[in-house]
Amino acid sequence: MKLTISDVAQLLAIPETTLKRWIQQGKIPAIQDRNRYSFVKKDLIKWAKNHNIFLHDDSRENLSKNPQSEYSVLEAMKKGGVFFNVHGDNVTDVLRNVVSTAQIPFDVDKNLLYDMLLQREKLASTGIGSGVAIPHPRYPIENFVGSTIITTCFTEKKIDFKSIDGAPVFVVFMMLSPSTDMHLKFLSRLSYFLRNDSFISLLKKCSEPECLFDKVEKIEKSIDG
């Protein structure tokens, strides 16, 4: 099935001008026929998954089916902790400091986790745009059991994560889940939050955990309500 520029812009919830720029920069797979561009849906879906981007028609309908108690981003963030002025001049330094700072179970090997995060970045950047990155292991980490943990780290400096939109990253949400299925469900919910302009605006001026938690709780209630 082929999609038009208009179709894909709606699926990604971005302006057509941004999509056209991504095409010209070779950031998204597109087919050119004379002066027109089209997309193969299965290729677009694969690209979106590789870049941690959820297509717009996958979001709210599926999210509303998830009970808040089981897939609560708020609870996952509280478990992982919120940290400010995390040091680092580049991706590797920031990830090292995120791992060392994160509130994760004592039996999780932090050195192994760090290596897994770096391996995932080599496959494709976890910078999803708008100054946000969601680093995570490609596979569930050994000895990690229980529920998903999201560690929120605001970086001291803006970091070039090679994000799809080219914007430097200022906030990192490191996500650890006990299973791939759980990871995808939380990634879907968190991605929905990041489509909310007011949420992004809050992230840019957030200075304390409660500020973030209050906003997350309001958005989550609107999803599950």
Q: What are the residue numbers of the active site?
A: 136
| Length of the chain measured in residues | 225
Work out the number of other CB atoms within 10 angstroms of the CB of residue 161: 25
Q: What is the CA radius of gyration of the chain?
A: 17
Please give the sequence-ordered ranges of beta strands (E in DSSP) within 9-59, or none if there are none: 31-33, 36-40
The 10 Å CB-count burial string (b at 16+, else e) for 3-25 is bebeebbbbbebeeeebeebbee
Helix (H/G/I), strand (E/B), else coil: 25: coil
Place of tokens 């973030």: 212
- Cα(141)–Cα(129) distance, rounded to whole angstroms? 26
